[in-house]
Amino acid sequence: MAAPSIPALSAHGAEIPAIGFGTSALGDCGEIVATALKLGYRHIDTAWKYGTERGVAQGMRASGVPRSEIFLTTKVSHEFLRADDFARSVDESLKNLGVDFVDLLLVHWPNPQIPLSDPMPALARAKRQGLTRHIGVANFNIAMLDEAIRLCPEPLVNLQAEYHAHLDQTKLTEACRRRGLIFTAYCPLGRGRLLRDPVLAEIAARKGRTLAQIALRWLVQQGNIIPIPRSSNAGRMAENLGVFDFALTEEEMTRIAALKRPDGRIADPAGRAPAWD
Ligand SMILES: NC(=O)c1ccc[n+]([C@@H]2O[C@H](COP(=O)([O-])OP(=O)(O)OC[C@H]3O[C@@H](n4cnc5c(N)ncnc54)[C@H](OP(=O)(O)O)[C@@H]3O)[C@@H](O)[C@H]2O)c1
């Protein structure tokens, strides 16, 4: 079967494939990542914290897909945001991944104990040293994003945060749009919770698509959003790629947006999570 063609989104010179493959909680994921790449994924999301960087390296090698065709993201964990720790963490990630540079390097979470004046220049330095092609942040609120932009001498291209139909992210996605950043949506399937939603199920049945495809299409159709679903199953990985050959109507988009709920947020670690917008 021919791999589906995946569009790209651009921001400040970065060209990012419009869907990515998430790798958290996949453990020793070499075979899974190789399968994802063979199926057509060209954007892989990992992090030092996930312990999956070595698996991603194995998967990239085993897939036969050239490094130049893969958009690779990793992240520096909140405990390593002081300048020296930051640089060490980047080096360790590159070693784990078996690459000279990544395509996108993110601050994984803010750390209330460490001012942003530490990691933001360190992030820019990593870019200037050629250790990453692009930079961004994850799990920042709008005020932190603005402070990060102010403190960083290189442009941020991306903000990664939780986003799916049960979580209202209107303010943050709009803030990214206005600042020219691409928004990467993590937990795009609500870690499976969305798959029980009756409205999504009804729209999926009407359109002859799967519920996961409807949930992911709702994100990609917003324009500056890149979902990064994770799956350990080849059939579901392929299914999740099939979101670029159909469209939701305006009415369907609005109905899905109305599924937001006050308890929709999944990732909210005490002591690390900012005051969300
Ligand atoms: N920056 C951050 O702080 C942060 C935080 C959380 C996540 N992330 C990133 O975002 C990625 C995605 O988030 P996530 O892994 O938490 O959750 P997710 O992608 O929303 O959901 C993953 C779950 O959905 C299931 N699934 C996937 N495709 C499916 C389909 N087509 N039909 C039915 N079930 C399906 C998977 O099960 P099977 O494996 O059985 O298919 C898995 O249990 C992560 O892997 C990670 O890379 C980043």
Helix (H) or strand (E) holding 139: none
Q: What CATH homologous superfamily does 14-257 map to?
A: NADP-dependent oxidoreductase domain (3.20.20.100)
Instruction: Determine the distance separating the centroid of ligand 1 and the alpha carbon of 72, expressed in angstroms.
Output: 17
For the segment 61-76, the average pLDDT, to the nearest whole number, is 98
- Report how far ligand 1's centroid is from the alpha carbon of 215 (Å): 12
**Could you give the C-alpha distances from 221 to 131, 187, 191, 211, 227, in angstroms and in order?**
32, 17, 20, 15, 11
C-beta of residue 40 within 8 angstroms of C-beta of residue 6? yes
Cα 83 to averaged position of ligand 1 atoms, centre (Å): 31
Which residue is closest in CA terms to ligand 1's atom 38?
A: 231
CA distances, 42 to each of 97, 198, 226 (Å):
15, 32, 13
Q: Mean pLDDT across the chain, nearest whole number?
A: 97
Q: Whose CA is nearest to atom 22 of ligand 1?
A: 191
- In tens, the pLDDT along 81-123 reads 999 999 999 999 999 999 999 999 999 999 999 999 999 999 9
The neighbouring-strand residues paired with 76 are 107
- Is 80 exceeded by the pLDDT of residue 2? no
Confidence of residue 44 (pLDDT cuts 50, 70, 90): very high
The full set of domain ranges for the chain reads 14-257
Confidence of residue 195 (pLDDT cuts 50, 70, 90): very high
Contacts of 68 (CB under 8 A, 6+ apart): none
C-beta of residue 110 within 8 angstroms of C-beta of residue 274? yes
Across 209-223, average pLDDT: 98
80 close to 50: Cβ distance less than 8 angstroms: no
Give the pLDDT mean for 210-222.
98
Q: Is 270 helix (H, G, I), strand (E, B) or coil?
A: coil
Show the DSSP H helices in 24-103 as ranges.
30-39, 53-63, 83-97
Pocket of ligand 1 (CB under 6 A): 22-24, 45, 108, 138-139, 160, 186-192, 195, 212, 228-233, 236, 239-240, 267
Q: Is 186 a catalytic residue?
A: no
CA of 115 to the centre of ligand 1 (A): 30
186: CA distance to ligand 1 center in Å? 8
Question: Ligand 1, atom 47: nearest CA belongs to which residue?
Answer: 22
Q: Whose alpha carbon is nearest atom 19 of ligand 1?
A: 229
From 186, 200, 237, the mutation candidate for ligand 1 (largest count of ligand atoms within 8 A of CB) is 186
Cα dihedral 214→219→220→224 (10° resolution)? 170
Residue nearest to atom 8 of ligand 1 (CA): 186
For residues 151 and 121, the answer to whether their CB atoms sit within 8 Å is yes
Contact 141, 247 (CB under 8 A): no
CB 106 within 8 A of CB 72: no
